Structure 1
């Protein structure tokens, strides 16, 4: 059954089958030139069956992106969106690892841990992983940057898999489970924020980034996002709030939500960015400092418990924090701070200065990120503080939009960007914000940035890409400055009851 304002049947049908054709072409591209075992990335010129693989990849990506984009304002219904997204996943489930070799790193890190090595101090090559030839060369000697929970899951997959193919199948099953968990959370979160469910489901599940990178690529971001969204769902459905299904008390629910968010951090550290904004969602009643300390404290306690338990069970402690520093070994212009560093180095070469601006630009980016995260949180807090006339949907939307923007800022200002990183803000913003183009357009562009074997196109467009990215940043800075000089628009009038 279609809903008011939904696209026509013909348009929806065209999008459904165009996307399915695209997914089938991407599966063909994966078999012709995907991330096969023991075949390192070779680039577009030397890819096996190069022209055919590249043609299927480009056409398939264009079809999926176009179909997703055409319905960005909402599918005919939530049920239709679920069915279509699931239909698109079917061919991709039959593909070998696609658009990235990270799943081989997961397999070797799990094998190394199961064999008694510490993946936070020993690279997979030194550990003697039998599948190391399938790992991208840049990551063979680096420590694992993932949390202890994911290492436990990867070790379980390597132990039960009985070999590389079995391990890959189990790791993809974990990723699929994460996507399914996120899919189950989307309607409840969208409803709590007053966002159309049919649009939230479509944006969050039908994006090519989800099918290609989270499922076919088996990235652990899928597990992180599933746990993250479930934790947020528990928060927006706290006992005492409308449609709350939880049988436990309010304090117990906060602890449960905190544990889920802590487990998300124990998969991938990026989830920690959401915790301060989740604390705003956790507040019951008026947003006061006391309520924030009480409810946010319970939430933080649950997250800390999850991290401690995962660290103790793994026996590896917090060694993964050190591994995060090596995740920036790759330098690509797709990271805006890195692009600015490249351009500064290019200009420096013209006057005879040695290159060295990239680390400085990345450090500046991280400082800007820290400032921006604090500003985002403070703005959300100022919007909610002391008000007893803010409806639950408005309060949830305020906190979750801020969390989504915080994730988007993390993606934009981090030292490294990979296309699947765009799924972090995508799924949170899909359920919370009303304006979509500003975050869906970058996701559409990101879908074209890799090749089926995991080669990043940024490697072959370093100078022009860095210059274009820097120019884009300058344009955005000018537009932002103009927007700040405009007089503020009148905001909504909050009336106290009675």
Structure 2
């Protein structure tokens, strides 16, 4: 895009971010905002029309500006500056898109006052801010790892009251994003190869993607500012630690101290949010120096696994909570919404059963099948990545594309986790986004869903999926069938080459 066009996108996105912040002050997830509202009741509120108008226009502007530069910002620096500019209004806005930050605050308060947050919910613990927590989560134990519970307790200690705690939690989330931002250019460089390419590897594909595209897609997206900055979701911390651990493993493969550190960082990511664990087997592949043999994998992957296990055990023991957090993970599926494909399929089966006077209660069964399918998909993805790395070594010797292959496998593992999990919230789409931004040759297939889910939540945390259950479930099931049919008809293809960057581009490598 030309300089004037890029400038237009920058300021259109800034206007959008400002409108979203205004919508937050008018009707965001404020502590005293009414709970259990509907879109219609929001509209009837005194500031309802202004709230929804600002929210809709702001989201359209932010999504449109991000989409217009999906092939890359003018430069990496330009992308950083613009992403930061868009984040500023949202940094000082009330919580947007969900009320999870209040659950974090109560979980931190619970631990800080000597109660096990994995044994009781916020209500039983006596959290003084209980009225701010969404009703569905008031009696639910914490579903997060001990590192995040410790961070939440630190936020409570530093913040004192509720407002100070929310500010501290937002600072922690922004710190996670800054860590991710520091790692992105280096990961983009590691995922490319020198200009000469590699024997036996398609030149365009081996070249990797420009850092300016990776930074833009990963940091300027509409979900980042609304959900990770304003919403202060702990996914930001998980992503920062995850990318940092991957970078260390890729930078110094085969060196035990570096692999121990990489494993420890990945372990910390897992003890913030357990979904990070699906990346670990691919990180082990990235950690191998030289030829990818079983012996090399056991040697180098073993060091990484040791660092991860050590981090998990040390943080679990240091918190005094042990491994009780593992049991808390079972409550993350208490919410049922059609935005999770397995849940949508379960809804449709129940609707069909109702037509013949049956009540199959299919949602739990379909979710269980989806988790088994996820396990199989992850194994297949890992095996294909392993075989690709072995073939690269046979054709090209010590393949410098190995980091990209491993990172792309990790990205697809996160995609599978998001698609097949029992629950989906809009900010879950940020999990694979950064790795796809670094490794995917084509962008449309993942940029379109990210743009679409930006419209799912209202500023006060109301999820529109709650009010579109039947049509949403039918539409999601139909989409799954279409995707499955196309996948079955599609023949295996060679990876699509990435367009060669133009001269003067800040291409990595």
TM bucket normalised to smaller: over 0.9
Count of residues in correspondence between the two structures:
475
Instruction: Report the CA distance shift for 1:469/1:460 in structure 2 as closer, same or farther (over 3 A).
Output: same
Superposed, which structure 2 residues align to 1:43-62 within 5 Å? 43-47=38-42, 48=45, 49-62=47-60
Q: Structure 1 residue aligned with 2:3, among 1, 9, 19?
A: 9
Offset of residue 488 of structure 1: 5.1
Check if 1:300 corresponds to 2:305: yes
Of 124, 140, 143, which aligns to 1:142?
A: 140
Distance change (3 Å), C-alpha of 1:127 and 1:415: same
Q: CA deviation at 1:96?
A: 0.6
- Separation in 1, partners of 2:250, 2:91: 32
Q: Map 1:395-434 to 2 at 5 A.
A: 395-434=402-441
The within-5 A match list for 1:82-93 is: 82-93=80-91
The answer to whether residue 31 in structure 2 is matched with residue 42 in structure 1 is no
Pairwise CA distance, 1:41 = 4.4
Structure 1 residue 487, shift from structure 2 partner: 6.4
Within a 5 Å distance, the mapping from 1:113-124 to structure 2 comes to 113-124=111-122
Larger relative contact order (C-alpha < 8 A, sep ≥ 6)? 2
Q: Alpha-carbon deviation of 1:84?
A: 0.3
Unaligned runs of 5+ in 2: 193-208, 498-509
The Cα RMSD (Å) is: 1.4
Q: Give a deviation string over 1:122-159, Cα, whole Å, max 9, x none.
A: 00011000001000000000010000000001011111
Partner residue in 2 for 1:66: 64
Verify the 8 A CA contact 1:376 1:406 in the aligned structure 2. yes
- The answer to whether the aligner puts 1:20 opposite 2:14 as a matched pair is yes
Q: Residues 76 and 188 of structure 1: is their aligned pair in 2 closer, same or farther, counting only changes over 3 Å?
A: same
1:229 counterpart = 2:243: yes
The aligned counterpart of 2:373 is: 368
CA distance in 1, matches of 2:121, 2:465: 25
Instruction: Give TM-score scaled by structure 2 length.
Output: 0.91
**Which of 142, 164, 167 matches 1:166?**
164
Gaps of 5+ in 1: 1-6, 241-249, 493-498
**How many angstroms apart in 2 are the aligned matches of 1:186 and 1:90?**
20
- Kindly report which structure 2 residues correspond to 1:280-295, keeping only aligned pairs within 5 A, or say none: 280-295=285-300
Instruction: Identify the match of residue 262 of structure 2 among 257, 276, 281.
Output: 257
Query: How big is the shift at 1:61?
Result: 0.5
Inter-partner Cα distance in structure 1 for 2:385 and 2:27:
46
> Does the CA-based 8 Å contact 1:384-1:390 persist in structure 2?
no
Equivalent residue for 2:454? 447
Contact 1:41–1:454 (CA under 8 A) maintained in structure 2: no
- Summarize the Cα distance change of 1:453–1:401 in structure 2 as closer, same or farther, 3 Å threshold: same
The equivalent of 2:174 in structure 1 is 176
For residues 27-50 of structure 1, the C-alpha deviation after alignment (integer angstroms, 9 at most, x for no partner) is: 001001100103224122222411
Equivalent position to 1:151, from 146, 149, 152:
149
Asked if the contact 1:335/1:415 (under 8 Å) is kept, the reply is: yes
CA distance in 2, matches of 1:404, 1:326: 25
Deviation readout 1:92-142 (Å, 9 max, x if unpaired):
011011111000000000000000110001000110000010000000000
- Measure the CA separation in 2 of the matches of 1:399 and 1:18: 36
| Residues 111 and 117, structure 2, Cα contact 8 Å, conserved in 1 | yes
Q: Which residue of 2 aligns with 1:323?
A: 328
How many angstroms apart in 2 are the aligned matches of 1:89 and 1:115?
33
